[in-house]
């Protein structure tokens, strides 16, 4: 009736509980006969190991948290996808949380949600400020994605946003576009994604000896499709007549294309559009979307690798499974935060090239 325990398996197989445990964990010194008998008992009872018990004893849960602003933003969905897979390869299970860009939620995530369930956190912060990260007592191993928080004590994984924005802008300039609208852009010297990309954009303008018009930089409250559309509507209504759009993510680029369409402007004929992220939707939109493609698999791999290493470092100082009172292992020493830059490339498609491309054929 109730779920069988190791004790039940042991009784049925006529061995001790520890022997069953040894079989389950592929301990070497178990005779083949015993092993077989235990396996049979396990099968007959439908026994499955209780992770609560195992985790308690082992001191490890094998669970990490992935914390993103919105899971239904395609960029984060695709990234979550890759991170779950990568974590699986490392024997870790991923708990996905979303914060809806709420600072309290992001702080809770850093704190392991008030418990020490997760062993580490991969966090894509939006609302946090640097002070939030300065002195975190709980100090759950943490890796940050995207936004950089300079004062932080956590590792950070991202593309070179300034260089990427600069390349995207140079691409538009090379096409002869001169009045470039930056959708989601924001002036300032903070380390936020919007600011860093805007600085890259300005660097490209400066390098080409072109003037910078602040009115063409349109901040948004969210990097979402409707906000991209609204920014374009507002810009056009304000009499600005852009011939190019640098949208700081693909969602906003798609919104921008939509808005341009509603104003009777052709893309790329009248206005060329570039996005960021290379989400799938941009590969099948009309027109297809030129975009800065981060190597998402590399981001996932780097983030998981960094977290695994941090967890190992943190665990090294703790008496994880040391019975008795032997001497403690070497004292843990916290390593300084690491910065990992991941490659990106500009993928040119119809929204800037104008050349018709054929849809990829699936299944041979």
**Site residues (CB under 8 A) for a copy of itself, limited to 83-102:** 84-85, 93-98
Report, in Å, the least distance between residue 35 CB and a copy of itself. Answer: 18
- Cα separation, 167 vs 200, in Å, equals 8
Report, in Å, the least distance between residue 57 CB and DNA. Answer: 4
Look-up: residue for tokens 């008030």?
114
Strands of 160-236, DSSP E: 180-183, 217-218
Structure tokens at 110: 């850093």
Closest CA to 172 of 162, 163, 185, 181: 181
Residue among 133 and 224 whose Cβ is closer to a copy of itself: 224
The packing angle between helices 32-45 and 6-13, to 10°, is 120
Q: How far from 112 is each of 119, 139, 301, 321, 339, CA to CA, in Å? A: 8, 9, 22, 22, 22
Question: What one-character-per-residue DSSP string does 241-270 give?
Answer: --SEEEESSHHHHHHHHHHHHHTT--TTTT
Tell me if 351 contacts a copy of itself by CB under 8 A: no
Residue among 103 and 283 whose Cβ is closer to a copy of itself: 283
269 binds, among DNA, a copy of itself, none (CB under 5 to 8 A by kind): none
Tell me if 266 contacts a copy of itself by CB under 8 A: no
Q: Dihedral sign, CA of 272, 275, 278, 283?
A: negative
Tell me if 321 contacts a copy of itself by CB under 8 A: no
Report, in Å, the least distance between residue 27 CB and DNA. Answer: 7
| Residues forming the site for DNA (CB under 7 A) | 3, 5-7, 14-19, 21-22, 24-25, 28-31, 33-34, 49-50, 52-54, 56-59, 321-324
Tell me if 50 contacts a copy of itself by CB under 8 A: yes
Tell me if 330 contacts a copy of itself by CB under 8 A: no
360 binds, among a copy of itself, DNA, none (CB under 5 to 8 A by kind): a copy of itself
- Site size toward a copy of itself (CB under 8 A) is 72
Report, in Å, the least distance between residue 26 CB and DNA. Answer: 11
Closest CA to 41 of 3, 14, 1, 2: 14
243 close to 270: Cβ distance less than 8 angstroms = yes
Return the range that interacts with a copy of itself (CB under 8 A); candidates 25-33, 107-115, 189-197, 198-206. 107-115
Return the range that interacts with a copy of itself (CB under 8 A); candidates 10-18, 163-171, 220-228, 301-309. 220-228
Beta-strand pair 344-347/290-294: antiparallel
Return the range that interacts with a copy of itself (CB under 8 A); candidates 7-15, 182-190, 218-226, 339-347. 218-226
């Amino acid at each position: 009736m109730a779920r069988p325990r190791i004790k039940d398996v042991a009784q049925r197989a006529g061995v001790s509980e520890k022997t069953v445990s040894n079989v389950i964990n592929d301990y070497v010194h178990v005779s083949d006969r015993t092993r077989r008998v235990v396996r049979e008992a396990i099968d007959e009872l439908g026994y499955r190991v209780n992770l609560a018990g195992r985790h308690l004893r082992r001191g490890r849960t094998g669970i990490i948290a992935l914390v993103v602003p919105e899971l239904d933003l395609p960029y984060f969905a695709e990234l979550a996808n890759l991170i779950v897979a990568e974590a699986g390869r490392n024997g870790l299970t991923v708990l996905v949380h979303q914060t809806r860009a709420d600072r309290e939620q992001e702080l809770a995530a850093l704190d392991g949600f008030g418990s020490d369930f997760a062993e580490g956190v991969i966090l894509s912060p939006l609302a946090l400020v640097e002070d939030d990260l300065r002195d975190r007592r709980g100090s759950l191993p943490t890796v940050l994605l995207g936004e950089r928080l300079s004062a932080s004590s956590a590792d950070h994984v991202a593309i070179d946003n300034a260089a990427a924005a600069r390349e995207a802008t140079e691409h538009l300039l090379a096409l002869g576009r001169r009045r470039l609208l930056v959708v989601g852009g924001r002036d300032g010297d903070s380390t936020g994604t919007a600011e860093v990309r805007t600085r890259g954009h300005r660097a490209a303008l400066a390098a080409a000896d072109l003037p910078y018009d602040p009115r063409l930089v349109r901040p948004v409250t969210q990097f979402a499709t409707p906000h991209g559309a609204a920014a374009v509507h507002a810009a056009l209504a304000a009499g600005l007549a852009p011939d190019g759009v640098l949208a700081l993510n693909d969602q906003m680029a798609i919104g921008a294309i939509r808005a341009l369409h509603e104003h009777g402007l052709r893309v790329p004929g009248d206005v060329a559009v570039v996005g960021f992220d290379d989400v799938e939707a941009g590969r099948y939109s009309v027109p297809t979307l030129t975009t800065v493609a981060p190597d998402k698999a590399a981001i996932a791999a780097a983030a998981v690798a960094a977290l695994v290493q941090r967890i190992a470092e943190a665990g090294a100082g703790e008496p994880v499974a040391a019975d008795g009172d032997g001497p403690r292992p070497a004292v843990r020493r916290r390593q300084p935060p690491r910065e990992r830059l991941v490659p990106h490339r500009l993928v040119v498609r119809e929204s800037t090239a104008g050349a018709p491309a054929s849809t990829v054929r699936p299944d041979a």
